[in-house]
Amino acid sequence: MKRLPILLASLLPLASCSGSRRAAPSLTPEPAIERAFDVLSTAKEGKKLISFLEKNPVSFEFANVEAPCPRYEFGRGRIYLRREFKGSDAMLALALARAAQVYRFHRLAGIESPTAEQEELAALFQARIGLQVRLVNQDFETDDPGVKEIKSAFCAYLHEGQRYAMQKARASALVTEQWCGRPFETLGSLESWLERTKEAVRDETLFTLLYERDLQRVRRGQITMADAMRNDANFRAMPLYEINRFQRMFYDTENEKVSRAVKLYRELTREDASWRAGHAGDITRAREAFATCGMKDLLPPGAGIPGFD
């Protein structure tokens, strides 16, 4: 397939000139996903991401059900991608990049379940990868719903900018979809929940609060009811001295994770803004190449993101 020269010339420094790089076998049992890793490795940021994954491995597999979004099972070391992307190495590479960026944030911040903010950052990363692997309009010529979603997110980033692309990703993350574990929590909701845990420690009701939170995760589809009951039983089976120690440490440990996540969210948002500023000419040329982007499903202007400014 012929690639557009306007993007090739300007974005070539961003791509690897050393050829394809096969992903480590520990990252996927799927040949199609291995090919997607090869595509991802041609982007500068893609190579860095693969290096991170090789040091912090997780298994990328195809979902065995028709699902509208990926499923993250961090505790089991698995991420399930939509099977419908299997027919296009380029589209699968972008889906892989987005899911892997969500996982990368999880590893760096330590938060156990995905948040809407992770999806925001992953959408920005996916769009940058799309530019770096030099997508063309023909890559999007399909009626596949998943490909249309990638195109819409990519076009939002090109034509409407960073904040609009983040709004779109956030809205998707907050829609109920049990198989995908959605709606995701937000960093703001985690901060509010942590304040409740401080009171629960004083009132000696922390385990009840933890069980209630696990029940919410069950309703989202993030864990099973058996998981929630097992967690509660394990907590209550602790010796008294362990219970006291656990309660003393719980807030500080979780608060550190959330604070780290908020800081990382700010840093990666600024990094994207800096990347856009440094590649303004490339983005302008890409807008011309993708001038016919369909933008019907974007959020209305003015839909805000609760920020961490």
State pLDDT tens for residues 9-61: 444 344 444 444 554 558 999 999 999 999 999 999 999 999 999 999 999 99
SS3 assignment, position 181: coil
- 282 Cβ partners below 8 Å, 6+ apart? 7, 10, 11, 131
Cα separation, 273 vs 69, whole angstroms: 26
pLDDT digit string, tens, across residues 119-168: 999 999 999 999 999 999 899 988 889 999 999 999 999 999 999 999 99
Q: What pLDDT shows up at residue 39? A: 97
The full DSSP string for 85-97 is GGG-HHHHHHHHH
Q: What is the dihedral of CA 196, 201, 204, 210, to 10 degrees?
A: 60
Q: Calculate the average pLDDT of the chain.
A: 87
What's the pTM?
0.85
Q: Where are the domains of the chain?
A: 5-178+261-289, 187-257
Cα separation, 115 vs 15, whole angstroms: 30
